[in-house]
Amino acid sequence: MGKGTNFSGQPVLSQLIKLMDRQNINTLASKTGSDRYVKYLDGYSHLVVMLYAVLCNLRSLREVCLGFEANATRMNHFGLDHMICRSTLSDANRRRSSSFFGRIYRSLFRKYAPVLSDSRTKHETATKIYIMDSTTITLFSEILKGAGRNSENGKKKGGIKAHTIIQEDIDLPIFVDFTAAATSDHELMKRIFSLPEGSFITFDMGYNDYLIWKQLTEKGYKFVTRQKDNARFEIIEKRSCPEKDIIADQIIELSSNKLVERPMTEEELSHRRGRRPKSGIVTVREYVKGKYRCRRIVRRSDDGKDTVTFITNVLDQSEMSAEQICETYRRRWAIECLFKKLKQNFPLKYFLGDNVFSNIVTLARLTIGNYVNFVTLLNCPKQAWAERLRYWNSLETAQNTVQLELQFSP
């Protein structure tokens, strides 16, 4: 039988995890307290286990454990010195904060960002653009049918929402936050202020907040978004439109009347009825009216049958033309492509279900290319690991015997 000429001596997962600095991960675990009161499954081991589960598209805790039992002889290559148990993994998933894995991602992003692909050569401008959007991930749709809020069309948003910011020229997330699916997008808009000053951000109509837009302008951020159909505005200035498909280029003043919540002042507290709280902040809700000046661009759609209206705080035509503003918003589609790739290649599964048939299929999938007695593996999945432990114990016993003989030899 011919042998492959591409043999590396290390499993693929082992080669992938070597791209991560284990010492740095241990340091992050110490800083975040992720390894506090942990005996076996520390932060690094937990990360390796979850990477294995995602890359193998495993669907339950039992499948994860069966996968490691079927690959017991390769555990040392994975950096693991003990077999994974369902209860231990379940406890780790419940107790260890997701912020620990977020810190690992950010450290890897900083390390490998200089070598990531750069698509800026495809565009006329080299402006660094950040794109903000969210996507809903449906969880337990058949089990938690009551999850989420009721809507007029009868659909529910049961699951989680991933709020994401990507750098368009790298096409990778620089920020991800998870909330309930019913959480409004604009509640996460304050995360924009963590981006470098002077950044250009593009987002859709879900982030319509005139007060935040005004703060972005004051801090030097530039943005482009779509105008809502019910927006109230007054046209201040009309400009010429030399571009072919541009219908209108205007300076407008948007009017807002937003309900906000603020802390009560000392004077308001003195006139407040009832007992004054000893601690905590007393808030009051009120409507705040305001106006915001921006630029409105109306462009004919690609098929010529409709129009699309954009809003931006880039007022100067010499800085960016109307067509460049429209093209910048078009580049927002990069985040939609990223969401599609993530959902196609890394589907989020719930760890539920356990039956004999699924165990057989799982073991067959994980060992499809291995030289192993499949019936023996089904009857005793932990046999290889037990033999591995006996081998290590025999080596340790032999080493101790040699040390004793050397110690008492004349």
pLDDT at 329: 92
How far apart are the C-alpha atoms of 410 and 406, rounded to whole Å?
Answer: 9
Query: Rounded to whole angstroms, how far apart are CA atoms 185 and 206?
Result: 6
Across the range 323-344, mean pLDDT stands at 88
Share of the chain above pLDDT 70, in %: 76
At residue 168 the predicted structure's pLDDT band, cuts being 50, 70 and 90, is confident
Q: What is the pLDDT of residue 143?
A: 44
In what helix (H) or strand (E) does residue 215 lie, and over which residues does it extend?
helix 210-218
| Residue burial 9-30, b: 16+ Cβ < 10 Å; e: rest | eeeebbeebeebeeeebeebbe
Edge-to-edge, what's the strand order for the sheet holding 307-312?
Answer: 172-180, 159-167, 129-138, 200-203, 222-226, 307-312, 283-300, 246-263, 233-239
25 or 392: which carries more pLDDT confidence? 25
> In this structure, are residues 49 and 88 in contact, taking their beta carbons and an 8 Å threshold?
no
Question: What is the pLDDT, as a whole number, of residue 131?
Answer: 93
How confident is the model over 405-409, as a mean pLDDT?
57
Return d(Cα 381, Cα 403) in angstroms, integer.
Answer: 35
Q: How far apart (Å, rounded) are the C-alpha atoms in residues 34 and 100? A: 7
> How many Å apart are CA 327 and CA 311, to the nearest integer?
13
End-to-end CA distance of the chain: 53
Q: What confidence score (pLDDT) does residue 315 get?
A: 92
**Contact predicate 64/49, CB 8 Å:** yes
Give the mean pLDDT of the chain: 79
> What span, in angstroms and rounded, lies between the C-alpha atoms of 166 and 130?
6
- State the burial class of residue 318 (Cβ atoms within 10 Å of its Cβ: 0-12, 13-18, 19+): exposed
Q: Which residue type sits at 264?
A: M
CA distance linking residue 315 with residue 191, whole number of Å = 24
Name the nearest CA neighbour of 207 among 130, 138, 120.
130
Residues 145, 83: Cα–Cα separation, whole Å: 36
DSSP secondary structure letter of residue 368: T
pLDDT at 372: 66
On the question of pLDDT at 145 being above 60, the answer is no
What is the reported pTM? 0.69
- Report the distance separating Cα 332 and Cα 323, nearest Å: 15
Q: Is the pLDDT of residue 252 over 90?
A: yes
